[in-house]
Amino acid sequence: MPSNKKPPKPPPPSNQKEEIVWMSCRARAGCEGKQQKIVWKNRKPGGGFNFRYRCTTCNGVWHLPT
Q: What pLDDT does residue 36 have?
A: 94
Residue 34 lies in a domain: yes
Span 32-60, average pLDDT: 91
Predicted TM-score (pTM) of the model is 0.67
Instruction: Give residue 62's identity as a one-letter amino acid code.
Output: W
Residue 11 lies in a domain: no
Residue 5 lies in a domain: no
Residue 24 lies in a domain: yes
Share of the chain above pLDDT 70, in %: 83
How many structural domains compose the chain?
Answer: 1
**What is the C-alpha separation between 20 and 56, in angstroms, rounded?**
9
Residue 4 lies in a domain: no
Taking Cα atoms as reference points, which of 51, 47, 45, 54 lies closest to residue 65?
51
Span 33-49, average pLDDT: 90
Residue 3 lies in a domain: no
State the CB neighbour count (10 A cutoff) for residue 36: 26
Residue 53 lies in a domain: yes
Range of the domain at 51: 20-65
